[in-house]
Homo-oligomer: A and B are copies of this chain.
Amino acid sequence: MDSSQIKALVFDVFGTVVDWHSSVVRHGEDFGKANGITADWVAFAEGWRAKYRPFMDKVRSGELPWTELDSLHRMGLEELLDDFGITGISEEAKADLNLAWHRLDAWPDAPPGLHRLKSKFILATMSNGNIALMTDMAKYAGLPWDCILGAELAHAYKPDPKTYLTGVELLHLKPEQVMMVAAHQSDLLAAGKQGLKTAFVKRPLERGPKGKVDLTPDPSFDYVCDDFRDLATQLGV
């Protein structure tokens, strides 16, 4: 496809740019050691991620007013600690554990691929993560964003059309000048429905070595790539 009209690439982040699974497992293990707790930290990480959707749905449905992702992660953590029977944790330790989501490692191809892409395109986050989370993570993982867009600026969580369209509008671009890059097909389908271009990135390890990930791309996607280096090559940079 002709990429000459594309001015900005906007990225899903959790799973697409950073490896939340192994990072949260590791932060869980560190938390366990520091607090003398034994648990299945893989199940802990996956359980935490699994709470993301139902809490977000509470905002989507209006049961909760607008609430940033850090706070939803924290509500999920409280439930999760209960689920795992972990008690007696200080407020400070819980607050620090919640910052695990600010300290996620990039997939190895992400920083070099993004640096190549940055030479030609505006690079922005289009994540459900809030600005503080995205900013801290960019410093931690070396992600060279030009700006932070996404849910907090729209007060709407993906796949709400408002999230994508607010970002497009804030950049003064038309939807077809913006390409959504994601490892999640539902995210791309929602962005594509609003007129954005779409690039699917295969992240077979997003859910860990044993996790199941759908890697058969929908035929509507404009680009399909193995990683960010491959995307840069396909986009001619």
Q: Which positions in A face B, CB cutoff 8 Å? A: 70, 122, 124, 130-132, 134-135, 138-139, 144-148, 152-153, 170-172
Please judge, given known A-B contacts A122-B139, A139-B146, whether A172 and B134 are in contact too, CB under 8 Å.
no
In chain B, what residue has the closest Cβ to A120?
B139
Question: Once the chains bind, are A170 and B138 in contact (CB under 8 Å)?
Answer: no
Q: Compute how far the CA of A134 lies from the CA of B122 in the bound complex, rounded to whole angstroms.
A: 12
Which B residue's beta carbon lies closest to that of A124?
Answer: B135
| A153 to B135 alpha-carbon distance, docked (Å) | 15
In this complex, what residue of B is CB-closest to A144?
Answer: B144
A146-B153 contact, Cβ under 8 Å, with A70-B172, A172-B70: no
| B139 lies within 8 A of A152 (CB) | no
CB distance from A150 to the nearest CB of B (A): 11
CA A138 to CA B124, docked complex, whole Å: 13
18 CB < 8 A contacts A-B: A70-B172, A122-B139, A124-B135, A130-B170, A131-B170, A132-B170, A132-B171, A134-B147, A135-B147, A135-B171, A138-B146, A138-B147, A139-B146, A145-B147, A147-B147, A147-B148, A152-B170, A153-B153
Q: Given the complex, which residues of B lie within 8 Å of A172, measured CB to CB?
A: 70, 132
